[in-house]
Structure 1
Amino acid sequence: MSLFRKILTPIVITSTALLTACATPDTFTTQVNAFNNWPTDTKGKLYAFSNDVSQNLEQKSYADLIAKEMWRTGLMQTNNIKKAHYLVNFNASTETREKIVQEYYEEPMFVPTFGFGFSNFGYGYPGWGWGNNFYSGVGISYTPRVAQYPIQISRHTLALEIKNNKTGNPVYQAKAIADSQNASLTQVMPYLAVSVFDNFPGSNGGTRHIEFDIDKSREQQTPVKYIPE
């Protein structure tokens, strides 16, 4: 096995949140887009999920993760849709995609170089003359080794909408995306749920990237943002 470190660098990157592996610490990044027309009188009002998750334990676990973050909105949960002032709808999904990466090997590859030329040619008055020196050289140059190949990634997405139950008008819409080579949707969902409510309600439009500290998140058993030292 080579003692030299390998560096994986993506050369085709769509507008996604990427799983970023670092030496210290390990981090996980999500990408979020959000839009809002958030009312000023929502504190203490009720919300309910419009998704029927009663017969799907996986979807219910996702609803629980979202409900855990709904405190940021000031709304309180009810199971009675008719009593709810706002309805929350979400869709969690995964699709497989292909990404091309470049692999740089830091092993030295030495390539010989050759060169030659003439020097010291000239003339003068009243006399003239010329002379030349022939020179040549052989050198060694470093050439990095690069390989390109496709990899399969899973793109995990959580799309969430909160709308007025009376008028049907949306007051908040957000989408969080994360790409990973090996993490499942179930593993990524806690980070997506936190991401769609990050800096709630925030500004309209734009793309934000949220970086999480994997080690601290595991220790505290909840998503923890990465703070550079």
Structure 2
Amino acid sequence: MKRSLILFTVVLTALLAGCAAPSVVSNVTVFHTLTGTETNKTYMVEATPEQANNLEFSSYVTLLNQELQHVGYVMVNKDPSLKVSLNYGTTQAVASSLQPAPIYGPYGFRHGPYYGSGWQTSVDTVFMHHMEVSISRIADGKNIYTVRSRLMSPNPELSISMDYLMDSAFQNFPGKNGSTETITLPVHQ
């Protein structure tokens, strides 16, 4: 009976592990001087000359506005107390990993060290998508909040990752000053 219960537990655990939902992992770094007592949270988004009239930038500002409103900030067209800037981009990189190599044995092709010394290095092109949001006071120009979010993707399209970058950046707003944390979000369906 005890052996059957252990076997059932092992099988159930394996099945549940196979059903884990896909996720996106981001690294988020935060620096700020926010105290939580700030009262005037009105802001405007400042575009660089390259970002002005850029449809991609406008799309990302919509995501940014949703996140800022969610944490209590209000976008205004007249007399804001804060200025928000948004920068983003993608860097191509090469990643390598050690993986079991297929080995032909008495039972056909197999993977893993148990069928020989079959390890091989796999080299892949990956893309580091990154985003940075900074908030400054207009009155004195002092930067009061900066958050950077980064994630690796096999896809070069930043637009696919931007929603995850933005969501992870504001997940634990304002966050611990000077910290970097790993945020895991479920893949949107």
Q: TM-score per shorter chain, which class? A: 0.7 to 0.9
Q: Does 1:49 align with 2:45?
A: yes
CA deviation after TM superposition for structure 1 residue 24, in Å? 2.8
Query: 1:90 maps to what in 2?
Result: 86
Identity of aligned residues (%): 23
Tell me the secondary structure at the aligned position of residue 69 of structure 1: helix
Query: 1:128 maps to what in 2?
Result: none
Query: 1:33 maps to what in 2?
Result: 29
Q: Does the aligned pair in 1 maintain the 2:136–2:142 contact within 8 Å?
A: yes
Tell me the secondary structure at the aligned position of residue 24 of structure 1: coil
Q: Does the aligned pair in 2 maintain the 1:29–1:211 contact within 8 Å?
A: yes
Query: 1:178 maps to what in 2?
Result: 151
Q: Given the alignment, which residue of 95, 106, 111 partners 1:99?
A: 95
Structure 2 regions of 5+ residues with no counterpart? Answer: 1-17, 107-113
CA deviation after TM superposition for structure 1 residue 149, in Å? 3.1
- Choose 1 or 2 for highest CA Rg: 1
**Structure 2 CA distance for aligned equivalents of residues 106 and 43 of structure 1:** 62
Q: Does 1:153 align with 2:130?
A: no
**Superposition TM-score, scaled by structure 2 size:** 0.77
Q: Does the aligned pair in 2 maintain the 1:43–1:74 contact within 8 Å?
A: no
CA deviation after TM superposition for structure 1 residue 204, in Å? 1.0
Q: Given the alignment, which residue of 171, 177, 189 partners 1:198?
A: 171
Query: 2:77 maps to what in 1?
Result: 79
Query: 2:3 maps to what in 1?
Result: none
Of the structure 1 ranges 63-72 and 39-48, higher mean CA displacement relative to structure 2 is found in 39-48
CA deviation after TM superposition for structure 1 residue 42, in Å? 3.1
Of the structure 1 ranges 165-174 and 52-61, higher mean CA displacement relative to structure 2 is found in 52-61
Q: Does the aligned pair in 1 maintain the 2:168–2:185 contact within 8 Å?
A: no
**Superposition TM-score, scaled by structure 1 size:** 0.65
CA deviation after TM superposition for structure 1 residue 195, in Å? 1.4
CA deviation after TM superposition for structure 1 residue 41, in Å? 4.1
- Structure 1 residues 37, 73: closer, same or farther in 2, change over 3 A? farther
Q: Given the alignment, which residue of 37, 62, 67 partners 1:69?
A: 67
Tell me the secondary structure at the aligned position of residue 25 of structure 1: coil
Q: Does the aligned pair in 2 maintain the 1:176–1:195 contact within 8 Å?
A: yes
Q: Does the aligned pair in 2 maintain the 1:37–1:172 contact within 8 Å?
A: yes
**Structure 1 CA distance for aligned equivalents of residues 147 and 105 of structure 2:** 48
Q: Does the aligned pair in 1 maintain the 2:135–2:144 contact within 8 Å?
A: yes
- Structure 1 residues 106, 206: closer, same or farther in 2, change over 3 A? farther
CA deviation after TM superposition for structure 1 residue 206, in Å? 2.1
Offset from partner CA, 1:184-209 (integer Å, 9 cap, x none):
20010001111111211111122211
Structure 1 regions of 5+ residues with no counterpart? Answer: 1-21, 111-140, 219-229
RMSD between aligned alpha carbons? 2.2
Offset from partner CA, 1:151-181 (integer Å, 9 cap, x none):
1111100011001111111111110000111
Matches for 1:209-224 after TM superposition, within 5 Å: 209-214=182-187, 217-218=188-189
Q: Given the alignment, which residue of 17, 20, 26 partners 1:24?
A: 20
